Structure 1
Amino acid sequence: MAQLLTKTEIHKLANSLSGWTVESNKLQTLRKFKDFVAAIEFVNKLVEPAESAAHHPDIEISYNKVKVTLTTHDAGGLTQEDFDLAAIISQIV
């Protein structure tokens, strides 16, 4: 099982990610797209990196908005895996 990060580690890692916020024990970003199709295309691009990492985000879609939430469920909070995947997701256009 992945090791939980300390509050200090979480703060430091969160500051290195643009567009992400820490809410309770979750790392979140909200992306807005021109329309529903573009939002779904973005979600489809998340599949390969999530599968490769064996770490899967929670995803909410509302028309042209996609909310991505990361947390390590089996560890009960944020781990390095969450921040690693967030950095990859940040590069997806």
Structure 2
Amino acid sequence: MAELLDDSAITAALADLPGWEREGNAIVRTAKLPSFPAAITVVDCVAEIAETRDHHPDIDIRWRTLTFRCSTHSEGGITEKDTALAASISEQIDAAGT
């Protein structure tokens, strides 16, 4: 069971997660990839990471624009699971050359 982060912990975590913003009980990042296949490759890589962690983001795919939303639904907000997953998602986005 993951513990909810308080506002100051979320703010501190976001300082280390460029491009991520808090939206209510989630952290969110939108990225524009060079092409639709590049976007799908990022989604595939994130899916593999999420499966190994048993923690899955909500993903919106719009042509080459991806939006990732991380929240620990069972806890009703943002936990360290979300910030760690966000960091891994950022690595995949950055590797894709945005």
* Interval containing the TM-score (normalised by the shorter chain): over 0.9
5+ residue gaps, structure 1, are none
Aligned-pair Cα RMSD in Å: 0.9
Report the TM-score when normalising by structure 2.
Answer: 0.90
Could you tell me how far apart the structure 1 residues matched to 2:20 and 2:89 are? 10
Could you tell me how far apart the structure 2 residues matched to 1:34 and 1:91 are? 16
Question: Per-residue CA shift, 1:10-66, capped at 9, x if unaligned?
Answer: 111111111111111111111111222111111011112111111000000001100
Residue aligning to 1:51: 51
Could you tell me how far apart the structure 2 residues matched to 1:13 and 1:35 are? 29
Look up the equivalent residue of 2:64 and give its one-letter code: N
5+ residue gaps, structure 2, are none
Look up the equivalent residue of 1:37 and give its one-letter code: P
For these two proteins, the number of residue pairs brought into alignment is 93
